[in-house]
Structure 1
Amino acid sequence: MSQLSEQPTEGPVPTSADVARLAGVSRATVSYVLNNNAHVRISEPTRRRVREAADELGYVPHAAARTLRAGHSRMVLLPTGNMPTGPLHLRFLHELEAGLRHLDYTVVQYGSLGLGADDAARAWAELRPAAVIVPGSVPLAPQGIAVLRRSGAKAVITLGPQPVEGAHALIMDQREVGGCAVRHLLERGRRRIGVVMPDDPGAAVFAAPRLAGARAAAMTGGGRIEALSLRYDEESAATLAARWPELGLDAVFAYDDTYAMLLMRALQDVGVRVPADAAVVGADDSMLGRLLRPRLSSVRMELATAQPLADLVDRLVRHPRTPPERHDLLRARPVRRESS
């Protein structure tokens, strides 16, 4: 006959009243300390005593209850769709999350693929976030902004190439990326330039303005642009490389470093010399591109902000009646290496 192992019994969930009794303070003091309320003066010994009591009891504040009391949470919601994964966006996310955590916010990513603009806004509003930062690849309309505002969101912020009416805008104007790449190629004497357009709907929000920027730079500098569709697989790259002689191009801006590396390998496989026959430029300035031979020229993108991003979000949350602001974040510069 088998004997079941004894399972530990769970005791009652500790409350703020339990913490207050153990620390010898009021429940209000517990709330002020554990919610990091900087507007109430509490001595450091008292704060330490409350935290030690909470640790001993295993108590943490109830986020849902705090949200009900305040009408909103300390949550900053970051909807995700077909978000880019380049170094710039990773730096953006890391800087934002670290800064907001320091300010006692929690950044929550919310999968929004498959949701229309109205359904997405309603789904986000159910969580009662203090702020929502919406990437350009995720749909948002003025009606959705109104829904979020009515649900208690203090700041609705878009992150993308174009602003949305009624929201604050963090602008990453991708036209500058394409323009920067083409100006570099024109300076190197190239005039017949292909621009890779990924055969991926999720990349369109970035690829289309990069192509527009490339065309504007070519028009000014006397170059010619041809858009080149490319799937991210070896077969598609080989097909495009086989057409290279008939295309008559002497350079290519390949959307980003991953597409540049894919196409450069295919061009080399069919005997196209890089850069003698075709100069190649990517974007993102990835480490892997520097390890290729020839080393990959690229466009380095950097954040250009007057204040830390977390401080900007916090200011907009604390002043919810601030009229919509626009902040241009993207700065691009060419990084010349052997491939161009």
Structure 2
Amino acid sequence: MGIMARRAATAVTSADVARLAGVSRATVSFVLNNTQAHRVSEATRTKVLAAADTLGYVPHAAARSLRAGRNNLVLIPAAVSAIGRLVSGWIDDLHTELERYGYTAVLHAGRFTDPGTAARAWAELRPGAVLALDGTSLGAAGAEVLRRAGVRALMAFAPQPAEGVYTVLFDDRRVGVLAAEHLVARGRRRLGVVMPRERGLSAFAEPRLAGARSVAARTTATVTPLEMEYTHASAAELASGWAEHGLDGAFAYNDEYAALLLHVLRDAGIDVPGEVAVVGCDDLVTAALQRPALTTIRLDVPSAAQVAAALHDLIETGTAAPLPAVEPVLVRRESA
């Protein structure tokens, strides 16, 4: 058992692959890294790949990065709770697109007290690029920390540019504005805005609330924040006390929270849209399948292919052509 334990703790190296294949370590490196500048015969390539497969050899990413002079890791800071269906699908597409350029995308769900601490934690991993979906987490100071650590590309979805950061403009306040304006236009004056209790969502929910409040400030509408967890119990508790708030309209943060709210309001005997009009966000496939069909806000986001191409340009050259801003678009259905 002691011998087996020692063997299990011994990592297979490229030297082991080279010995089994009967080639040099350089040839192993050329084959496994798919180095185009060095021609290797198909027969030799087959032998190397077979030897690596037999031994279970996996290249060392850090060592490969050192040889290449750059790290091919693209770090995406994001709390797991912040990744709804819309974002998770987009990130999955982004993984695929980045792989075409030889990059690996990794989600980082660390908890940090401030942007500076976050930037230092990301810098410790020495990624080739950082893509911040919450642009407020990556300011000029954080960008400087990452630049000094050798991070080649910094991209953020944010309402305004930060020095040293390639910015895709996305102002969540506009989502709240659009939702509240529509509810007011439908004759609703007492608006509730669902504020998710889940970690990581306040960075998106707070600006949306601010946008709704800006509409109330210039109309006769009022806005009441409504805290809610994404659980049936929490939503049912909110619905049971709905009459106390006297609300006739609700912006439910996104389609997932909106769908949950629709169901508990119906169970509580509250008619939608008769008594309460409800608006969601993201325009998920399930939004149109709700009863009543959910009025929502579609987010026109640059495609994963566009973002991957821009990140590649930033890593390679330090510059990239501007990407279009994220545009919120109202989708009218029956719930509001």
Instruction: Give 1:38 shift.
Output: 4.0
Distance in structure 2 (CA, Å) of the matches to 1:289 and 1:306: 23
Residues 1:307 and 1:73: Cα distance change in structure 2 (over 3 Å): closer
* Counterparts of residues 140-155 of structure 1 (less than 5 Å): 140-155=138-153
**Partner residue of 2:201 out of 188, 198, 203:** 203
Distance in structure 1 (CA, Å) of the matches to 2:260 and 2:173: 23
Residue 234 (1) aligns with residue 235 (2): yes
- After alignment, is 92-101 or 302-311 more displaced? 302-311
Match of residue 168 from structure 2 = 170
Match of residue 85 from structure 1 = 83
Structure 2, unmatched stretches of 5+, are: none
Instruction: Give 1:90 shift.
Output: 1.0
Residues 1:228 and 1:141: Cα distance change in structure 2 (over 3 Å): closer
Match of residue 335 from structure 1 = 331
Distance in structure 2 (CA, Å) of the matches to 1:8 and 1:226: 64
Amino acid across the alignment from 2:301 = L
Instruction: Give 1:82 shift.
Output: 6.7
Distance in structure 2 (CA, Å) of the matches to 1:315 and 1:131: 11
Residues 1:312 and 1:43: Cα distance change in structure 2 (over 3 Å): farther
Deviations 1:287-323 (Å, cap 9, x if unpaired)? 5544543232222334234953222212211123x38
Q: Secondary structure at the match of 2:201?
A: helix
Instruction: Give 1:76 shift.
Output: 1.3
Q: Percent identity?
A: 41
Instruction: Give 1:89 shift.
Output: 0.9
For normalisation by structure 1, the TM-score amounts to 0.80
Distance in structure 2 (CA, Å) of the matches to 1:311 and 1:91: 18
Distance in structure 2 (CA, Å) of the matches to 1:80 and 1:106: 16
Instruction: Give 1:179 shift.
Output: 3.7
Amino acid across the alignment from 2:331 = V
Instruction: Give 1:67 shift.
Output: 3.4
Match of residue 278 from structure 2 = 280
Residues 1:137 and 1:329: Cα distance change in structure 2 (over 3 Å): closer
Distance in structure 2 (CA, Å) of the matches to 1:266 and 1:319: 52
Amino acid across the alignment from 2:297 = V
- After alignment, is 191-200 or 89-98 more displaced? 191-200
The alignment yields a C-alpha RMSD, in angstroms, of 3.5
**Partner residue of 2:32 out of 29, 34, 41:** 34
For normalisation by structure 2, the TM-score amounts to 0.81
* Contact 1:83/1:135, CA 8 A, preserved across alignment: no
Instruction: Give 1:45 shift.
Output: 4.4
**Higher helix share goes to which structure?**
2
Match of residue 132 from structure 1 = 130
Instruction: Give 1:268 shift.
Output: 3.9
